[in-house]
Amino acid sequence: MFAVIKTGGKQYRVAANDLLKIEKLEAKVGDIVEIGNVLAHGEGENVTFGAPFVDGALVTAEVVEQGKNRTVIAFKKRRRQNSRRKIGHRQLLTTVRIAEILLGGAKPAKKAAAKPEAKAEVAAEAKAEAAPKEAKAKKEAAPKAEATVEAAAAPLFKAPKGEPDDLTVIKGIGPVAAKDLNEQGIITFAQLAKLSDKDVAKIDEHMPFSADQIKDWREQAKELAKK
């Protein structure tokens, strides 16, 4: 007996034990899949056609392999327009072995794998059950996260009282760099002059300035702090 099935927008004539490559099906190797779109079936010259599908007809198949077809290249060029376009497509394929051709609403010998929609429903239910636990965990973690953000937002150094110096006087410090230093609590020449190597390493780690730059500014600041 043979049947004509439709899957992936294409029609195939199949019989039991036929090996067939069709467009990708969401199933694992070894799963049994059901193809209900049977256009016709028959044996010899006796053929029954559907309108468009045969009622109660079903074809089952076992997934043998998940793979890809060869790459198809589409190249388009517009003459004298300096326009070229190259597109490649590699179709995903599923290799199946036809197991049974069933008629009149007969049941398959092997049960088909669960459909992706059913799996999605189960996953949604599990997610719904886990939601309260996640919400509780997020609520408990919120104070810690806020504390971390506050710590990250705190300046690197404590700014001294008094009028700030114009750090742009130092060669290599522009308005943007001066603003960044001020935001991190460095506002005077004296502060820059007293930076330790540990302080330099901290600035190098948290700000877009290199250690060599900061050490150069420190030496210039020592001279300016004496004035």
> Phi, psi (5° rounding) for residue 137?
-65, -40
Q: Which architecture characterizes domain 167-226 according to CATH?
A: Orthogonal Bundle (1.10)
The pLDDT of residue 109: 82
Tell me: the pLDDT tens digits for 85-123? 888 889 999 999 999 999 988 888 877 666 555 566 656
Question: What pTM value is reported for the model?
Answer: 0.46
Compute the average pLDDT of residues 76-85: 83
- Cα distances from 47 to residues 18, 27, 41, 54, 59, in angstroms, run 19, 31, 6, 11, 16
Tell me: the pLDDT tens digits for 140-177? 666 655 544 444 468 888 888 888 999 998 998 989 88
CATH 1.10.150 domain locations along the chain: 167-226
